[in-house]
Amino acid sequence: MAASSSADGKVQALGSLIARLGQSRFFTVSVALHFVFVLSFGSVVLVKQAVQRTDFDDPGGLVAPPPASAPDAVQPLVQPTDDVSAAVSKSTAPSLTAITTNATTQTAFSLPSANLTPTIASSARVITAEAGAASVQSPKINGIPANLAKGMAQFTKSWVKSGDTSSGVGKDRAFKFTAYLAKYEGGDWDSTVRVKNGQITGGSLPNLLYIIRKWSRNKIEADADAVPLDLGSDELFTRKPPFVFFTGHKDFRLTDREIENLQKYLQLGGAIWGDSSLPGERSRFDLAFRREMKRVLPDQDIAWEVLPKEHDIFTKKYFNEVNGVPTGINYFQEPVYALRNMGEVAIVYTANDYGDMWQIGVTEQGEYDLSRDEHGDLAVTNREIFDQRDVYYRGVEAKNVVTSYKFGTNIILHLLTRWEDKLRNVPMGL
């Protein structure tokens, strides 16, 4: 009986404890959470021991990296087809031709022979004047490729009177030529001449050519009727001028055809003489002319240079009394600039506005030419420049004007004779 009473007392105590715990809200929630936690994570290993492998575990060498996990599949732009050939035929990509070789696979490495001498390709080429075509480089004659020298000799031979075999610019020489005024797109090419019905009737070039003929006693037969020459036409090659005179006030840009023609013309031995009608540097014409001539001679190694006092244009001259660069309009005295082609002056540039100085006519005696035409107008002198010569056109004094004419003569004769020594013995049968 005692044992039975004891067991009943334990059961009664346990029931009382459970009853009290059941009445506790905290206990109930706690038991529920523990039950959920055990069910969810009871089988998860929270810490996994990492085992480091050495680089040499793989018997084949270095251990290959584990394969990257495959990315999510991307829906193709074109639905796949079972017909592979059909899929290839629809591709827009160009077909690829397999490159094969019969060479034996080289299993050993060896250094090549130590022959470090550079070789020059036998097919080196130069640009010729014939339509800008390339031809195989020929032997040189006095520094000029022989194939070019022949064309230059034929192009320039008409500038000297037949039978004159001397050289230089001495007063015993005899020349015959016509001067051409460059007619180009976008600028006022006729700024220093008078033009009527497309013909030059007076102004700078006609005055210069007239006085050259008078002072040389017709040894230099310079046609006083200067001609406008369209740089975009073939006239450069049919008329074969010794030089073209380039002037203006404005900014301009040559057309591609004009650039191409001038390039061929210079390769044949011609020359360009530019003279700014706005004296001094950094004018509109100055900037444009320098820029456009670098398009004609675009070689990066060729740069505008100042001709030194030792240059032939100052030492081998027709009028020896002209020492140095004469003053131009408004007393500008910029140096003479040049670009060279094959060692000789190809483009000469004067920025002192000598063209307007030549609009003042002079007599053989070196005085102002104030003769008048049948209408009572000054025949060879620009009335505006002459009347304003002490106001807007300063420096237009008779002595300066005469010196500018003589300097112009020296420049022209240099352009006529600069190739003579180099082309004298060119065989025409090349």
- pLDDT at res. 225: 87
- Vertex 303: Cα angle to 302 and 306 (nearest 5): 130
* 299 vs 396 pLDDT, higher one: 396
Radius of gyration of the chain, Cα coordinates, nearest whole angstrom: 47
pLDDT band at 166 (very low <50, low <70, confident <90, very high): confident
The 10s digit of each residue's pLDDT in 325-350 is 999 999 999 999 999 998 899 999 99
pLDDT band at 164 (very low <50, low <70, confident <90, very high): confident
d(CA 210, CA 225) in angstroms, rounded, equals 9
- pLDDT at res. 13: 59
pLDDT band at 160 (very low <50, low <70, confident <90, very high): confident
The 10s digit of each residue's pLDDT in 87-105 is 434 444 444 344 444 444 4
Domain extents in the chain = 136-423
Least reliable range by pLDDT among 128-142, 179-193, 414-428:
128-142
- pLDDT at res. 244: 97
- pLDDT at res. 75: 43
Q: Examine the pLDDT at 79 and tell me if it is beyond 80.
A: no
Please list, residue by residue across 135-152, b when 16 or more beta carbons sit within 10 angstroms of its beta carbon and e when fewer do.
eeebeebeebbebbbbbb
Least reliable range by pLDDT among 117-131, 293-307, 379-393:
117-131
Contact yes or no for 405/358 (Cβ under 8 A): yes
Give the H/E segment covering residue 273: strand 272-276
Q: What is the mean pLDDT of residues 174-190?
A: 93
Nearest to 347 by CA among 309, 303, 378, 310: 303
Give the H/E segment covering residue 267: helix 256-267
CB count within 10 Å of CB 11 equals: 10
- pLDDT at res. 161: 82
Least reliable range by pLDDT among 24-38, 138-152, 367-381:
24-38
Q: Examine the pLDDT at 425 and tell me if it is beyond 90.
A: no
User: Can you list the alpha helix ranges (DSSP code H) found in 134-255?
Assistant: 146-156, 204-215, 235-238
The 10s digit of each residue's pLDDT in 211-223 is 999 999 999 999 8
Q: Which of 29-43, 83-97, 139-153, 322-336 has the highest mean pLDDT?
A: 322-336
Q: Examine the pLDDT at 118 and tell me if it is beyond 70.
A: no
pLDDT band at 302 (very low <50, low <70, confident <90, very high): confident
Contact yes or no for 176/221 (Cβ under 8 A): yes
Counting residues of the chain whose pLDDT is more than 70, the rounded percentage is 67
Q: Helix (H, G, I), strand (E, B), or coil: what is residue 348? A: strand
* 206 vs 43 pLDDT, higher one: 206
Kindly report the length of the chain: 430
Contact yes or no for 231/183 (Cβ under 8 A): yes
pLDDT band at 139 (very low <50, low <70, confident <90, very high): confident
d(CA 424, CA 168) in angstroms, rounded, equals 12
CB count within 10 Å of CB 428 equals: 8
pLDDT band at 15 (very low <50, low <70, confident <90, very high): low
* Single-letter amino acid code for the residue at 369: D
* Residues 6+ positions from 340 with CB-CB distance below 8 Å: 302, 305, 346
- pLDDT at res. 301: 76
* Residues 6+ positions from 94 with CB-CB distance below 8 Å: none
> How far from chain centre, in Å, is Cα 351?
23
- pLDDT at res. 174: 92
Q: What is the mean pLDDT of residues 276-305?
A: 93
The 10s digit of each residue's pLDDT in 107-116 is 443 444 444 3
d(CA 262, CA 209) in angstroms, rounded, equals 23
* Residues 6+ positions from 346 with CB-CB distance below 8 Å: 266, 271, 272, 297, 338, 339, 340
Q: Examine the pLDDT at 135 and tell me if it is beyond 60.
A: no
Tell me the average pLDDT of the chain. Answer: 78
Nearest to 179 by CA among 218, 207, 151, 214: 207
Span between the terminal Cα atoms of the chain, in Å = 150
Q: Examine the pLDDT at 149 and tell me if it is beyond 60.
A: yes
The 10s digit of each residue's pLDDT in 359-408 is 999 999 999 999 999 999 999 999 999 999 989 999 999 999 999 999 99
pLDDT band at 22 (very low <50, low <70, confident <90, very high): low
Identify the architecture of domain 136-423 in CATH: 3-Layer(aba) Sandwich (3.40)
Please count the CA atoms within 13 angstroms of the CA of 226 that sit on its side-chain side.
27
* 21 vs 125 pLDDT, higher one: 21
d(CA 328, CA 396) in angstroms, rounded, equals 8
Residue 175 backbone dihedrals phi, psi, to 5 degrees:
-130, 160
Q: DSSP letter for 378, please.
A: B
Q: What is the mean pLDDT of residues 322-326?
A: 95
The 10s digit of each residue's pLDDT in 244-263 is 999 999 999 999 999 999 99
pLDDT band at 157 (very low <50, low <70, confident <90, very high): confident
Q: Examine the pLDDT at 117 and tell me if it is beyond 60.
A: no
